[in-house]
Chains A and B, each alone.
Chain A
Amino acid sequence: SQQGEEDPQALSIQEGENATMNCSYKTSINNLQWYRQNSGRGLVHLILIRSNEREKHSGRLRVTLDTSKKSSSLLITASRAADTASYFCATAVLGDTGRRALTFGSGTRLQVQP
């Protein structure tokens, strides 16, 4: 089952612009992670934000978390053509087995035009 929804589903911007992606989730979390996937490749971990953190930075990435709204956002500043990829948020969700496993949101496909 899918934990979260992301919007927009697709985003096209020019190089140098900022890109903002949003993620909403349904259940309580310990942390939320963002991953990136180039077309047809594996996923790469970008950043993890804990439930007691509100904002985190890593290079050109800025992640915010609002646990009261069950939402997170990923901001990529000064985007580059190489940032073109799909971006997924992920949270550990309690499954039918009674165990938590990392479950991914629906993803945002980002296209950065040179």
Chain B
Amino acid sequence: DTEVTQTPKHLVMGMTNKKSLKCEQHMGHRAMYWYKQKAKKPPELMFVYSYEKLSINESVPSRFSPECPNSSLLNLHLHALQPEDSALYLCASSQGGQSGNTIYFGEGSWLTVV
């Protein structure tokens, strides 16, 4: 069982909707991540927060907006998405920064954009 909790597990949204994905960890980790994964592909990094500050944005379109309210929580706000944004969105955390630390993943949120 993972100690990174993601909600909701499944989300269907229209292209004009605004929704949010939520992630929580209580392992005291100071780095949190959002990855996007399409079917039969590896996870692709979207954002990294380190000590509650955005440290990496992998040129993600602005229709994806991350937010880190505190060291335990990470949100991904979604607005005006496209059908091609349908994917599994994985949240993860690690003890420190990003340089090769073991990352702990949540079970993911399946997003379908219609």
Contacts and interface: CB of A to CB of B under 8 A. Distances in A.
Interface of A: 2, 29-31, 33, 40-45, 48, 88, 90-92, 95-97, 99-107, 109
A102 B108 contact: no
Query: What are the 3 closest A-B residue pairs judged by CB atoms, nearest first?
Result: A104-B42, A42-B105, A92-B100
A8 to B, nearest CB: 14
B55 interface: yes
Nearest to A46: B102
Main secondary structure of the interface of B (DSSP, over half): loop
Main secondary structure of the interface of A (DSSP, over half): strand
A42 B98 contact: no
Nearest to B104: A45
A30 B104 CA distance: 19
Given A40-B88, A92-B98, A99 B107 contact: no
Given A41-B108, A92-B98, A99 B103 contact: no
A88 B37 CA distance: 13
Given A2-B42, A42-B90, A107-B42, A97 B57 contact: yes
A64 to B, nearest CB: 18
A45 B106 contact: no
